[in-house]
Structures are given as structure tokens and as C-alpha cells.
A and B are shown apart, each in its own frame.
Chain A
Amino acid sequence: MNAVTGRPGRVGESARRIDGAPKTTGEYVYGGDLSAPWMLWGGTLRSPHAAARIRSIDTSEAVGAPGVHAVLTAADVPGRPTFGLEIADQPVLASDEVRYEGEAVALVAADRPERARAALRLIRVEYELLEPLVDMELALDPAARPLHAFGNVLRHVHIARGDLDAAAADVWVSGFYETGMQDQAPLGPEGGLAVPASDGGVDLYVATQWLHVDRQQIAPCLGLPEELVRVTLAGVGGAFGSREDVSVQIHACLLALRTGRPVKMSYGREESFHGHVHRHPSRTWIRYGATRDGKLVAADVRLLLDGGAYASSSPAVLANASTFAAGPYEVPNVRIEGTVVYTNNPPCGAMRGFGAPQVCFAYEAAMDELAEALRLSPLELRLRNVVGHGSALPTGQVLTGSAPVREVIERCRAIPLPPREPPLGRDPLDYPGGAGRANRGEHIRRGVGFAVGFKNVAYSEGFDDAAEATVILSDAPNGPIAAVRTAAVDYGQGLYTVLAQIVRTELGVEDVIVHPATTESGSAGSTSASRQTTMTGGAVLEACRAVRAELAARGGDLTGGPISCTREFHHRPTDQLDAEGQGDIHVSFAFTAQRAVVDVDTELGLVRVVQIAAAQDIGHTINPLGAEGQVEGGTAMGIGYALMEEIQVEAGLIRNPSFTDYLVPTALDVPPIVVDFVEEPEPGAPYGVKGIGELSTVVAAPAIVAALRHATGRTLTRLPVRPDDLLGLRPDSTAHPRAPVPDVPGQQPVPEYAGLELGQQELMKGHE
């Protein structure tokens, strides 16, 4: 796979990407680029229905089709029939029922990709259609058809602090906010290659986010011990959460083991939309109470997430969304009721921000309303209420780490506003609507909006997502070189470059090799939750220090052979939430503020984002250029979330599974982004770093919509904002009925209720 060498700079310098050169020439091998001699092509038959019983599957015609080597259905799964990140509730192949459009039903391996596709069309599945359950509130109805044996409530989180009913507020504001289903839309679709091994096992090369959790889901389904399933990372064409869950992994291995030949599976864009989880659509009812001088005294939040047909990481997403739902503010009296339900919609799970963006949209809108009610500037209201070091969150968790929130806000405010532009004579692309040239200076209103947001770093709720790394120092003709072995995934965010910078800094070497990530190394945990620079960075730092100590013990002499040290980095332990939603559940937090400036064509509802000013709390900067790139990219994704990106689902069916109709921002949609970093080291983290990747995606959309409200005076309660909304042509979602009562049926989280295995918890046990 892609071993990468380079001569990046040290910690604090804008090092060039260690894996950059082959990416510019096209030599870098991504999951979908893999091939092997004698390779077969795998294909997946997916359900065209959102809800149906499977009466029969007839594969006879496909089996006999030219070039076909295997056709598999559920009966051919040798091991556990289901998989899942947290709860193994999703069939490897559906046997009796399909619960969403796109659910895998059968597999084919053929000698050519077009023959695999042709064979899929020859499989006859007889379905008995069921009425799909597609509304998340209807799913709460005790009379609703249960989609799983244990009901439709996947998890409920109840957080209570202080006494909401006794809160003495002078002013109350309340609102109802909705967010749509966003897709990660990584540019590289899912892909991998499974190669059967002579020991009866299988070697899988795949683009993913966490090799070990993949293996831990693959092996039981194959009926193999984990040692016989070896996973190697292929080049990853972006992920953003979409590769947390398995896609081709189990299927490709099944086909490879059945045929005895290497099997490649690679999705196209349409299949990719059906083949991974999305960002949860949400509905949030929020009420803030404050004193006349602008101190928050109460927050009452009811939050509902649509988890879709299977659990994926929904329970963890809900925990995040719920614990962040009252905002990064000190509020003495809080009640938060969060629920995630099963529906027949596409499954939702991890996406950059992981529950934080949905609630940030709601709480920041409510804060702006409150500011208006109190006649305070939005920033002033926030400054009077933001948390800081020592503050307690609604979960009772006290911020013991760095929390320079005030400074983040002040620094964002200090970024100069973009210059006013003349109404006429601009570059045509500098008007709302851009290349369409529908605006040439008419009816433009400029708006400015702020949003503040926060998110946790690393895994929560008592989970010890440790990371292992090995650093090897050896002698070479031109001086010592160092190598890093890790199972951690760099899917583009720049981890390997950061690791090399750490090694160079700690060991003073020039050349650093980062070996391909495989399950031969111990688990590094997932590349998600903004955690890898802290976790794998921490492991590499500790390993470097151990190497240094050993070198010193050898008197600085490497002639006795290479020095290799392996270390495991653990973050501080956390708790579970108790029955009142109290507990020290998150490891640490990072904060950000963004200011958006927009131009709105108030007649056509067209928007031009003019500038984004971002100030972010990042602890310590390892690679300034890389860090900026994270903020810029995350902001672009937030622009999409605000203005155009939505998987449109009707009766459970995705109507726009293509880049023609699922629009992502182009180069003309992303304005200059001015980034300022606040560096206050995080205790316990290597160099004091914090995660960077997710925060900008959390706040960009709320900031942009605040600016749109400022420009248009409209309430804008739904993401993404459509031109119709800006013109008042679509009814506001505040017209929606009141919040469902917080006491939902089946409050017990499913894992306890159904006694299912907890995927990631299982993995953790290996670490104890």
C-alpha cells in the first residue's frame, strides 16, 4: 500500500504533506484503484424498497450467467448474520425483511464489472411491500409498527440539572428548528480488495477509518477468528464519518473466500449514496430563559434524531447532541430530552461534527432571538454566558481543561470585515447567484451573523479508545532514519504529516517513513471525533521519548541495531451518564466562533457568502497550513449544509442520489476564509493540542443562517435554507406542532433492553 516518505518540517512549521507528491501525480492508490491478478469484481444487489418482506430470492439465472463465479444471499453468510458499530443489528445480507432502500440483499462476483452488474439484474427477489415508517415523530408512537424486535426507540437521553420549573427568568424565548439529511459525499467512493489467504483467512485492503473495528465486525460474520482477518489501509478519498461503518468490507471478504480469488468491490456515486450512513436529520424544540441583564437561567430542550433503519453510531451521536444541546453556556437549570428513533429512512451515523451541528443550529438561533428580546448584541449576550475553565455543563461535567471561549469570540470579532463593494461593476461572479448572472447589482442586502460552538475531542461515555504506535530508529548511510508503525488512518486530514513532524522534532532526524496502516499494529482507534493528533500523536510522542531514552542508554550509538519502541496512549478516563444525565462523560472540549458575511438577493433568494471569519481554539498548532486547511474545508462543508446539501427522502426513497441533484459547494461557493487560532494548551494532550477537524463544520451553517436572518429579517428555522425560504414562499417550520412529551415510550437504550453486543465496547475489552 501507500508507504510514505518525506522531509517535512518540525512541530509548529507548515510542513509539506508527507503523502502529497503521489497524490498530485495520480500514483497514490485509493480503495477503488486496487487490482490483483485473477481478480473478480463484486457487486451488490440492493433493495429498491424502503420496507418490505422478502418472500423469495431466485438466483438460479444469475448463477448460470457468463463470467459469474458466485452469487451469495443471507444463507451463505457462514458466521454471525448481522454487524454494526455499536449494536450488531444490521444484516450482512437481508434475509426476511428489508428496512431501507439500498439495503444489501445479494452479492455477485464475476470476471468483469459489467458482467457482475448484468448478473445482479438476473436475481429475482419477490418482495411483499410494507408501509414504510418514515416520520421520526410517528416512530415514537407506541402504536407504530416496530421496525426491530426491541421497538423503535434506539436511545433516549435525559439530562436534568437544577430546577427548571423554579427558574426565575424575566424573558423566555422558544423555537423549533429542523435540519436535513446531509451526506459526507467524500470524493472517492467506497472501495476495497479482498484476497483469500492460504491459511484460510483473508487479507482485506480497504479505504476506512478504523481498521480494527472493521475487523472486529468482519471476522464474526465470516466465522473466522480475528487473527485470520488482516486489514490494510488503502488510500482514502475523504471520509468525514462515512467510512466509520463497514461498506464493502464483509461482502468482499465473503466473495473472496467463496471463490478463492481476489475480489474487488468499488461503488459508483449512486451506490455510495446508498452504501453509507448520513448525517441525522433533526428536530429540536428549545426554550431559553434569562434575566433582564442577560444571564441565562434556564434551558429546556427536546431533541429528536432520525436514526434510519439501523443503529450505526446513533447512540453516541445522540449522546453528543444531547449533552451539547444547551450550548457552550453556563445555565443553572436545564432539562434536555434527546431521542433517536429507528425509521425506514436511510441509516444515519457519523458525520463531521457528530451530533453537534444539529443542536448548534438550534441553540445559536435561540441565542440570537434572546439577544434581540433583551436588546443586546448577539456577541454581548454570548460573552455574558459562555463557559470557561471551571464552568459546569448541563451534565455536571466541570471544564477542567483549557476553555478560552471568550478569547475565541473576541478574536473572531477582531478579524476585519470585508470591504464594502460597489453595487455595480463587480466581477459577475461576485454577485449572489454567481455564474448564472441573474443578479447584476439589484436588491442586494448584506447580512452579518455570528455563531459559537463546541465539541468534544475523542470518544466519550467511559470508552477507552486508546491508540498504539511504534517508532523505530535505525542507522542508514546518510544518517539515522525513523519509521512509524501505526494502524491509524490518514484520510486526508494530514495525520501522517503531523506524526512525521513529531518524530522529527523529538528525534532530530530528517527522514521519516510512515508505514502502511495494518491490523498488524495494535488499534489506534478511529480517525474521527477530532482525536488522532491527540491520541496517535500522543502515542508517537511517547514512543519517541522511549526511543530517545534507549538511545541515551546506548550512549547515542545505533550500531547495535535499530531501536524500536511501542507505546499506547490513553486519554483520561470518563464516566457514563447516570439516570439524571449527569456524569463526567467527555474527555475534553474545543471551541470556535465564526462570523459570516453574506449578500442576499432579496428578490430571487440567491446567496453569496462574502467572507467567513473563524477563530478556533486548537490548543497548540502542529502544522499551521494543515490546520488552516481543516478549518477551510470544514467551513465549506458547513456552507453546503447551510445552503444546498440535502439528501431528499420521500417515502423512504432517496430522490437525489447523484452529484447532479445532491449539490456540494463548488470553488465559486466558498469565499475567503480568514482563520485565527487561539493557542492555550490542553493539559494531558501531546504539546497541548486539541482536535481541529470538526468544529468549523459545527458553526459555519449557524453563522451563515444568522447572517441570512440579519439580511432578510426572516426566521429561517430549517437547514438547508432554500431560496424559497429567503422569499417567504415556504411555510416556516415553527408552524410545526408542539414538542412531543419528553416521556417517550421505551426509554431504555436498546443495548440494555435487547441485550445486544456493544461493538466498540467489545474491542475495548481487548485493551484492558
Chain B
Amino acid sequence: MTEALRPKTLEEALALRAAHPEATVLAGGTDLMVGVNFGRAEPACLLDLSRLGELTAWARDDNCISVGAGVTFSRISAELDDLTALAEAASTVGSPQIRNRATLGGNIVTASPAGDGIAALAAYDASIVVARHARADRRIPWDEFFLGPKQTALADDELVVAAEWEPVDGPGTFAKVGPRSAMVIAVASICVQLDEQAHDVRIALGSVGPTVLRATRAEQLVTQLDWNDLDERALQEAGALAAADVQPIDDLRGTAAYRRRAVEVLVRRALAWTLAARGKVAA
């Protein structure tokens, strides 16, 4: 029988984590239980984080937005709906039942290239806050945290406690494509965030590489544009640059060729949507 560790505080959890590096961490269970139910995961020891009040809070001020690892996607879309990019991503995760359980932390640690929450974090240039017993927290920039499919920089004795980023002033959006109208794992996804003050844009792409990626060359191109004088051709070029830079594969859910095409279109569209939304919304 599996042993269950059920800490009530973060401190307790970190101590248990340090003592049981072999334990499997459990948050909302929506990823873990699929493996368990199909006999692919048989953890001998379980560390259940669901009773930790510390992880289920979010906080924001002028300098920092912090969302606890235990905050569910339902809560994100209800309580943080002005963070358009993240809230839109959150509202496309699975179904209502899934979103009621699925946490941002679980999404982060699962580290799927298709993780919808991760795409938003990449667009925010977020850091993942990682805690370890009796040590100071580590803040790992998202692009150093995600190393490959299901691979992260998280050590065996660490827990993810939150994701943090600097507030960005400008519109953001999220979109994903898949073969049906609801409940899809992204065949390709995009999250775009404009930064009005820095005249900067971040374009994150999901399911088109080993991790969520940023379309750096496309971003640079758009940064150089005059946003008040939209040029359709420049957007097309941005799409083409992004499509050239991704590393999609053929798998059960879609082909590499389709994913590349989708990136081209999604980049163009998402840029157009966010550029058009300027002045109308703040995110």
C-alpha cells in the first residue's frame, strides 16, 4: 500500500520532502491519477500538498504578481480575469471538472510542451519559485526551469511554491488549436503579451517543441514596428519567422507540418488581436 504524507503547513511539507525525496508529490491529481489509473505510475510514497494554505493564495502589487502553486485554473479564471493571457489560458484547460482540481503548480511540474498555463508564464517572463527545507527559496526563470518534455530543474527535495512575474501593462491573449471544439490538448497554442511601456512583445508557443518556446525573432521584428500603423505584411513576416524557428514533431495528435502552419497563422492572428486591443484593456 502506498504511504501517504499529509503535511498541513509548507514548513512541514518541505521537511517531509527533504526526508522523502522518493515521494511523489500530489496536488490536484489530474495528471498524476491518469497514470495511476492506467497502471503506469505506482508511487510507494505520496506527499499530498492539498492541505497547504500557503500554496493556494495569490498576491499582487505594483512590482510583482505571485500565484501560488496550489491555485486552481477555475480560481485563476474567476479571480484573476484581468490577467487576460493567463485567464484565457486557464479557461481552456480541460473542462470545468478538470479546472476545479488542476493547479498551476501541477501544470508547471508536469512540464508538458502543451501545458496551457506554462505558455502564459512564458509570455509573462515568469520565474518559478522553488522552496527547499531550511534553505532560501530559488527563483528560476521559466526558460531555465523547463528543460524538456516532463523535465524540469526541480530537485528531488524541492517543491514548487509559486510562479511570479512583474506586472505587464498591455493586452494579452491565449489561443490553442485541436481537432474538436472543447477538451483538447493543444496541437499548437499561443500566448501573446504586449508590454506598452517597454514597447515589447512576448510570443510563447506551445506543443511545437520539447518545451514551451518563445518566438524570439518574431518578437524582435514586432518590437521594431510602429504599433500605431499596423502593417499586415509585417505580421505575416513575424508569423513566418516564428514558424521557421519552432521544432514541431509528428505525433498522434497532429503532424509537424500542420503545427508549423498553425504557428504561422496563430502568431499573425494573436498579434493582430492584441495590437487591436491596445488602449481598450490593461493586463
What residues of chain A have their CB less than 8 Å away from a CB belonging to chain B?
Answer: 117, 268, 270, 429, 433-438, 440, 442, 603-606, 608, 643-644, 648, 655-656, 658, 660-661, 663, 665-669, 722-724, 727, 729-730
Contact = CB atoms under 8 A, between A and B. Distances in A.
17 contacts: A435-B181, A435-B183, A436-B181, A436-B184, A438-B176, A440-B269, A442-B269, A604-B262, A604-B266, A643-B180, A644-B179, A660-B185, A666-B183, A667-B182, A668-B181, A724-B255, A724-B258
A53 B54 CA distance: 57
Contact of B179 (A655, A723, A729): A723
A668 B175 CA distance: 17
B66 interface: no
Interface in B114-156: none
Contacts, number: 93
Nearest to A720: B179
B261 A727 contact: yes
B59 interface: no
Nearest to B262: A604
Given A436-B175, A660-B185, A661-B252, A644 B180 contact: yes
B253 A666 contact: no
A723 B177 contact: yes
Contacts of B189: 436
Interface string B257-269: 1100110011001
A666 B176 contact: no
Contacts of A268: 37
Contact of B181 (A433, A603, A658, A727): A433
A722 B254 CA distance: 9
B174 interface: yes
Interface in B237-255: 252-255
Nearest to B269: A442
Contacts of B186: 436
B53 interface: no
Contacts of B253: 661
B39 interface: yes
B92 interface: yes
Interface of B: 34, 37-39, 88, 91-92, 174-187, 189, 252-255, 257-258, 261-262, 265-266, 269, 273
Contacts of B187: 723
A668 B38 contact: no
A661 B258 CA distance: 17
A429 B38 CA distance: 32
B182 A723 contact: no
B175 A438 contact: yes
Contacts of A644: 179-180
Centre residue among B39, B181, B252, B254 by max chain A CB count within 10 A: B181
B128 to A, nearest CB: 25
Contact of A668 (B37, B39, B182): B182
Contacts of B273: 440
A523 to B, nearest CB: 39
A663 B269 CA distance: 27
A436 B176 contact: yes
B258 A656 contact: no
A117 B39 contact: yes
A667 B178 CA distance: 15
B99 to A, nearest CB: 12
A666 B182 contact: yes
A438 B266 contact: yes
A723 B266 CA distance: 14
Given A433-B178, A604-B262, A724-B257, 17 more contacts: A117-B39, A433-B177, A434-B181, A437-B88, A437-B174, A604-B266, A606-B177, A608-B181, A660-B34, A663-B179, A668-B180, A722-B179, A723-B258, A724-B255, A724-B258, A727-B261, A729-B255
B175 A437 contact: yes
Nearest to A661: B252
Contact of A434 (B91, B182, B257): B182
Contact of A436 (B34, B37, B178, B265): B178
A723 B180 contact: no
Top 7 A-B residue pairs of the complex, sorted by shortest distance between their CB atoms: A434-B181, A668-B181, A668-B182, A438-B175, A436-B176, A435-B182, A666-B182
Nearest to A662: B252
B269 A669 contact: no
A527 B273 CA distance: 53
A256 to B, nearest CB: 25
Nearest to B178: A436
A31 B178 CA distance: 34
A669 B182 CA distance: 8
Nearest to A442: B269
Contact of A648 (B185, B252, B258): B252
A437 B266 CA distance: 10
Nearest to A437: B175
Contacts of A648: 252
Contacts of A605: 258
Nearest to A726: B258
Contact of A669 (B91, B181, B265, B266): B181
Contacts of B91: 435
Contacts of B177: 433, 436, 438, 604, 606, 723
B100 to A, nearest CB: 16
A655 B252 contact: yes
Centre residue among A436, A665, A723 by max chain B CB count within 10 A: A436
A270 B38 contact: yes
Contacts of B258: 605, 722-724, 727, 729
A370 B2 CA distance: 65
Nearest to B260: A729
A326 to B, nearest CB: 32
B261 A438 contact: no
Contacts of B261: 604, 727, 729
Contacts of A724: 254-255, 257-258
Contacts of A722: 179, 258
B34 to A, nearest CB: 8
Nearest to A640: B180
B114 to A, nearest CB: 11
B32 to A, nearest CB: 15
A435 B92 contact: yes
A470 B32 CA distance: 52
B76 to A, nearest CB: 16
A437 B270 CA distance: 10
Given A604-B262, A729-B257, A643 B179 contact: yes
Centre residue among A434, A604, A724 by max chain B CB count within 10 A: A604
B205 to A, nearest CB: 13
Nearest to B273: A440
Nearest to A727: B261
